[in-house]
Amino acid sequence: MGVPLRDLLKDYRTVTGWEDLRGIAAVDAFNTLYQFLSIIRQPDGTPLVDGSGRVTSHLSGILFRNMNFIQKGIRPVYVYDGRPPEFKEGTIEERRVVRDTAREQWREALERGDIQEAAKHARASSRIDTGVIDTSKRLLRLMGIPYIEAPSEGEAQIAHMVMQGSAQYAVSQDYDTLLFGTPVLVRNMTISGKRKLHGRLITVSPEKILADRVFSGLSISRMDLIRIGILVGTDFNDGVPGIGPKLGLRAVREGRFDAIVSERMPDVDVPDILDFFEHPPVTDDYSLGWEEPDTDGIISMLCGEYAFSEERVRKVLGAEVTGTGQKTLSSWF
DNA sequence: CTTTACGA
DNA sequence: TCGTAAAGG
């Protein structure tokens, strides 16, 4: 989900080449995992699974994407969500119901033989459980890629790391990191550059959003963007019906935020949410280090436990080690 | 999503 | 070589 500010920010996206993305990337782990789990599926919605039925879609995504990142000189650090704030409980429960419903609709569509409908519901039924979290961390560790646990929202921690200069940019498909204060957000960090949209195959490239350009272009402050987010809806509150990005921007510019909040959002703890976006729980208690991928360990895990093809795994790992030096991980040190 | 296979 | 379809687990 994420805060629906796409229409407001669409003029501030700039296509970026991979060369500009060299450096440390603070990646929203949950956002990435959800993407992999929902998209890496067969036409009828069945995810990749091993012989025991354990889902492996996320492992495939992590392996191939990160080997590509490494090759391009990108050093990713994955940031996992910690404990969500109290006021997120409603959203969490809402999403659980949506997932469970989708799972049932997936089954029903399959019985009808409606493949397209089945795939749609399958995607919506995706859930990041502890198995997904644990196996993703294990694979990242074997790949020599660091990950950290955020005290609360991963997106807040990512924004903090970019603000501190510990990372060059935030990676997420959602815009929430901008509310949390990241100076730079990069979306569409995808290698293949292709995506199905309305049945058509379109080209997608990494796009960069610079917070300062957004603020100066719209003549608003970061706090104003947070206020607009609250009016249109965030992970922590429902938006006001009838107020989208356009009206939200106008309302905040005209100083009507407080009035709308008191009139239309009587049950929302707006001061706490504002404060959470402005001063979220974050930590500086981490250290980042990248190491050479443990080829044997990765093969042992993916091929030995999760039925990956050893030929494919060796190939993607070998391409990295075989380089002439410039593209290898060791060239970072 | 990313890789791989395959026909133009 | 390129573009599209299918596979991967």
Nearest by Cα to A305 from A77, A144, A142, A65:
A142
pLDDT digits (tens, 9 = 90+) for A199-234: 777 889 999 999 999 999 999 999 999 999 999 999
Q: Give the 3-state secondary structure of residue A233.
A: strand
Q: Given pLDDT bands bounded at 50, 70 and 90, which one contains residue A128?
A: very high
A314 CB contact with strand B at below 7 Å: no
pLDDT digits (tens, 9 = 90+) for A48-106: 999 999 999 999 999 999 999 999 999 999 999 999 999 999 999 999 999 999 999 99
Nucleotide nearest to A67 (CA to C1'): B2
The protein residue nearest nucleotide C8, judged by CA to C1', is: A48
Packing angle between helix A310-321 and helix A57-71, nearest 10 degrees? 20
| Cβ atoms within 10 Å, residue A131 | 11
Nearest by Cα to A312 from A327, A298, A297:
A298
Confirm if A147 and A161 have CB atoms less than 8 A apart.
no
Confirm if A172 and A31 have CB atoms less than 8 A apart.
yes
Cα distance between residue A140 and residue A306, in whole Å? 15
Nearest by Cα to A97 from A127, A117, A119, A131:
A127
Q: Which residues pair with A75 in a beta bridge?
A: A24
- Give the CATH class of A14-217: alpha beta
The DSSP letter of residue A73 is: T
Nucleotide nearest to A49 (CA to C1'): C9
A65 CB contact with strand B at below 7 Å: yes
What does the mean pLDDT of chain A come to?
A: 95
| Position A236, amino acid | F
CA distances (Å), A278 to each of A66, A68, A223, A225, A258, in order? 31, 34, 7, 11, 17
pLDDT at A332: 40
Q: Give the 3-state secondary structure of residue A238.
A: strand
Scanning chain A, the segments in alpha helix (DSSP H) are: 6-9, 29-39, 57-71, 89-112, 115-124, 130-142, 154-164, 176-179, 211-218, 222-232, 245-253, 257-264, 270-278, 295-299, 310-321
Cα distance between residue A268 and residue A73, in whole Å? 44
pLDDT at A213: 98
Which residues 185-204 of chain A have a CB under 7 Å from nucleic chain B?
190-192, 194-196, 204
Domain spans, chain A:
14-217
Nucleotide nearest to A195 (CA to C1'): B1
Quick check: A333 pLDDT over 80?
A: no
pLDDT digits (tens, 9 = 90+) for A251-286: 999 999 999 999 999 999 999 999 999 999 999 999
pLDDT digits (tens, 9 = 90+) for A161-202: 999 999 999 999 999 999 999 999 999 999 988 877 777 778
